[in-house]
């Protein structure tokens, strides 16, 4: 099926279920579940044939997880019982493949329904696909391999490039930050390692796509991206899950290290089904005159906690964090962004846009911290909330702190409600209430859509239209 026809099929889907599909059974080679113990972590490390340093890393993280308290900002996850989950699940496929036709039909069709193979052909430099706990497909186009770019499943990178991986792994987002980061480091599996050599610019995006195939599973994929001096990369992260009874748990992590003068764009389109409790730990360290841009789009899931973060370590380092969160129905998004200014002449920009509808709750939790000595640094924060009905809520918890007298922080916040007069005006011009809401939401986030590739914008628009259609919001 051609690219255009498949894209059209997605855009014509009548409900979210038609895009995401329903869960289908598939054979599994290995499952680890039950009480999280040292024996389980050692077994996971043995399955992956890891070097001693990685096993020690996991065991230290397990100790931290067992000692650390539940973070005070975590609410609404009472049903999260780790002992009821499969904490490692390997589908029966052997090793990861480089040809979609080599995947079992059920797994291949999951990615085909989302149009992933066709998007890869058309405009990606490379793609890694993760199903449950393992990378099942990984491919970097040959012309980019010749440029010295490394893109491998995380486990394979640990084996082939141990010194390079060890230099960065867990150094950007350490295990001890909080209980769920410790849990991630103890159980990580799947994900991707990307290294872009000095001065190399990748002309087309690289993508990793994550799928949780069935209920009562935990997914802990790890993405580590290193951009050497003067390099450029745009990395896209997609997440999805079919519909199933019960819930699943995602606790992923992204670590980015941008060396001097490098540019990294990191885009996430999270569209988990409404059965997924989603934690995502994301942080970048940014050296002199480097730039990291986060675009975080949180559409699906039952509950999401994610705060893309930047540490401006070198003079002249810059970052921009764009966060869109849509909470439609009895679901909650706890999102935001965090930035630390450690060096002079650094700058940051946070733009947060949240939409709450049909009883949905959005929470913005942000941090800007400018340390003494970060002379002439600037930070701007814009936090806008759109509430579409009386049952929905939006809360804002910003923390802006500057210890440097020559620095400045600007914070703006707005909250808007959709009034009956606006709906009446649009209805009088032949626009239904559902169409009016989707148009208003798309206009509200248009600033952020401008930075996305065309195919993603079209699919994202369709997902938002479905959210407010008569049959949508069924996830």
Cα–Cα distances in angstroms (integers) from residue 64 to residues 59, 61, 67, 221, in the given order: 9, 5, 5, 19
Sequence-distant (6+) residues with CB within 8 A of 273 are: 16, 20, 240, 241, 242, 243, 244, 300, 301, 475
Given a cut of 90, whether residue 9 has pLDDT beyond it is no
pLDDT band at 475 (very low <50, low <70, confident <90, very high): very low
Average pLDDT, the chain: 88
Token pair for 309: 């973060």
What pLDDT, on the 0 to 100 scale, is given for residue 438?
83
Query: Are 340 and 308 within 8 A, CB to CB?
Result: no
pLDDT tens-digit series, residues 370-409 = 999 999 999 999 999 999 989 999 999 999 999 999 999 9
Sign of the CA dihedral running 360, 279, 321, 451: negative
Residue appearing with tokens 């579409």 = 388
Higher pLDDT, 3 or 171: 171
Q: Classify the phi-psi angles of 46: left when phi > 0, otherwise alpha if psi is within -120 to 50, otherwise beta.
A: alpha
With CA atoms as reference, report the closest residue to 208 among 194, 198, 197, 188.
194
Given a cut of 50, whether residue 472 has pLDDT beyond it is no
pLDDT band at 225 (very low <50, low <70, confident <90, very high): very high
Mean pLDDT over residues 109-119, rounded? 83
User: Can you tell me the distance from the alpha carbon of 318 to that of 310, in angstroms, rounded to the nearest whole number?
Assistant: 9
Given a cut of 90, whether residue 420 has pLDDT beyond it is no
pLDDT tens-digit series, residues 16-29 = 455 556 666 778 88
Mean pLDDT over residues 169-190, rounded? 97
Q: What is the 3-state secondary structure (H, E, C) of the chain?
A: CCHHHHHHHHHCCCCHHHHHCECCCCCEEEEEECCCCHHHHHHHHHHCCCCHHHHHHHHHHHHHHHHCCCCCCCCCCCCCCHHHCEEEEEECCCCCECCHHHCCHHHHHHHHHCCHHHHHHHHCCEEEEEECCEEEEEEECHHHHCCCCEEEEHHHHHHHCHHHHHHHCCCCCCHHHCHHHHHHHHHCCCEEEEEECCCCECCCCEEEEEECCCCCEEECCEEEEEECCCCEEEEEEEEECCECCCCEEEEEEEEEEECCCCEEEEEEEEECCCCEEEEEEEEEEECCCCEEEEEEEECCCCEEEECCEEEECCCCCEEEEEEEEEEECCCEEEECCEEEECCCCCEEEEEEEEEEECCCEEEEEEEEEECCCCCCCEEEEEEEEEECCCCCEEEEEEEEEECCCCCEEEEEEEEEECCHHHHHHHHCCCCCHHHHHHHHHHHHCHHHHCCCCHHHHHHHHHHHHHHCCCCCCCC
What pLDDT, on the 0 to 100 scale, is given for residue 471?
43
> The whole model's pTM is what?
0.91
User: Can you tell me the distance from the alpha carbon of 407 to that of 92, in angstroms, rounded to the nearest whole number?
Assistant: 55
Given a cut of 80, whether residue 108 has pLDDT beyond it is yes
C-alpha count within 13 angstroms, C-beta hemisphere, residue 71: 15
What pLDDT, on the 0 to 100 scale, is given for residue 28?
86
Mean pLDDT over residues 232-238, rounded? 94
Share of the chain above pLDDT 90, in %: 58
Given a cut of 80, whether residue 344 has pLDDT beyond it is yes
Residue appearing with tokens 């699919």 = 459
What pLDDT, on the 0 to 100 scale, is given for residue 291?
98
Burial of 247 (0-12, 13-18, 19+ CB in 10 A): buried
Mean pLDDT over residues 444-457, rounded? 78
Mean pLDDT over residues 410-426, rounded? 83
Q: Classify the phi-psi angles of 250: left when phi > 0, otherwise alpha if psi is within -120 to 50, otherwise beta.
A: beta
CA end-to-end span of the chain? 27
Highest mean pLDDT among 239-253, 329-343, 438-452: 329-343
With CA atoms as reference, report the closest residue to 219 among 269, 174, 272.
272
Given a cut of 90, whether residue 1 has pLDDT beyond it is no
What pLDDT, on the 0 to 100 scale, is given for residue 172?
98
User: Can you tell me the distance from the alpha carbon of 107 to that of 116, in angstroms, rounded to the nearest whole number?
Assistant: 12
207 bridge partner residues:
127, 236
Given a cut of 80, whether residue 160 has pLDDT beyond it is yes
Higher pLDDT, 26 or 235: 235
User: Can you tell me the distance from the alpha carbon of 68 to that of 66, in angstroms, rounded to the nearest whole number?
Assistant: 6
Phi, psi of 232 (to 5 degrees): -145, 135
pLDDT tens-digit series, residues 291-304 = 999 999 888 888 99
Given a cut of 70, whether residue 7 has pLDDT beyond it is no
What pLDDT, on the 0 to 100 scale, is given for residue 165?
98
What pLDDT, on the 0 to 100 scale, is given for residue 168?
98
Given a cut of 60, whether residue 5 has pLDDT beyond it is no
What pLDDT, on the 0 to 100 scale, is given for residue 170?
97
What pLDDT, on the 0 to 100 scale, is given for residue 19?
57
Choose the weakest-confidence range: 144-148, 314-318, 391-395, 457-461.
457-461
């Amino acid at each position: 099926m051609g690219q255009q026809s498949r894209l059209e099929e997605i855009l014509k889907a009548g409900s979210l279920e038609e895009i995401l599909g329903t869960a289908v059974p598939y054979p599994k080679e290995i499952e680890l579940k039950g009480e999280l113990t040292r024996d389980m972590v050692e077994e996971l490390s043995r399955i992956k044939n890891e070097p001693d340093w990685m096993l020690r890393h996991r065991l230290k993280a397990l100790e931290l997880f067992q000692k650390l308290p539940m973070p005070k900002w975590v609410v609404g996850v009472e049903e999260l019982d780790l002992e009821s989950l499969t904490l490692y699940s390997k589908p029966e496929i052997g090793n990861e493949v480089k040809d979609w036709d080599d995947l079992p039909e059920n797994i291949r069709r999951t990615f085909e329904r989302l149009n992933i193979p066709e998007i890869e052909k058309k405009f990606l430099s490379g793609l890694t696909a993760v199903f449950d706990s393992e990378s099942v497909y990984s491919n970097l186009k040959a012309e980019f391999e010749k440029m010295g770019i490394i893109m491998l499943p995380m486990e394979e990178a640990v084996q082939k490039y141990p010194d390079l991986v060890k230099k960065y792994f867990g150094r950007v987002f350490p295990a001890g930050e909080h209980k769920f980061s410790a849990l991630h480091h103890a159980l990580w599996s799947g994900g991707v390692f990307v290294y872009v050599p000095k001065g190399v610019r990748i002309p087309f995006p690289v993508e990793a796509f994550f799928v949780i195939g069935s209920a009562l599973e935990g997914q802990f994929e790890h993405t580590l991206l290193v951009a050497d001096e003067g390099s450029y990369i745009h990395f896209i992260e997609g997440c999805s899950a079919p519909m199933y009874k019960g819930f699943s748990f995602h606790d992923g992590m992204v670590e980015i290290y941008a060396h001097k003068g490098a540019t990294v764009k990191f885009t996430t389109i999270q569209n988990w089904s409404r059965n997924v409790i989603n934690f995502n730990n994301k942080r970048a360290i940014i050296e002199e005159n480097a730039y990291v841009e986060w675009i975080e789009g949180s559409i699906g899931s039952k509950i999401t906690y994610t705060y893309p973060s930047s540490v401006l370590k070198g003079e002249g380092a810059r970052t921009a964090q764009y966060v869109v969160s849509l909470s439609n129905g009895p679901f909650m998004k706890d999102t935001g962004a965090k930035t630390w200014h450690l060096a002079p002449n650094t700058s940051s920009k946070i733009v947060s846009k949240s939409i709450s509808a049909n009883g949905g709750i959005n929470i913005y939790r942000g941090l800007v911290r400018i340390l003494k000595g970060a002379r002439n640094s600037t930070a701007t924060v814009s936090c806008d909330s759109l509430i579409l009905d009386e049952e929905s809520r939006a809360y804002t918890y910003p923390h802006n702190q500057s210890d440097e007298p020559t620095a400045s922080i600007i914070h703006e916040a707005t909250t808007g409600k959709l009034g009956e007069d606006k709906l009446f005006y649009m209805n009088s011009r032949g626009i239904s209430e559902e169409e009016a809401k989707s148009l208003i939401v798309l206009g509200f986030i248009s600033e952020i859509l401008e930075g996305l590739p065309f195919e993603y914008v079209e699919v994202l628009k369709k997902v938002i239209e479905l959210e407010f259609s008569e049959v949508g919001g069924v996830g």
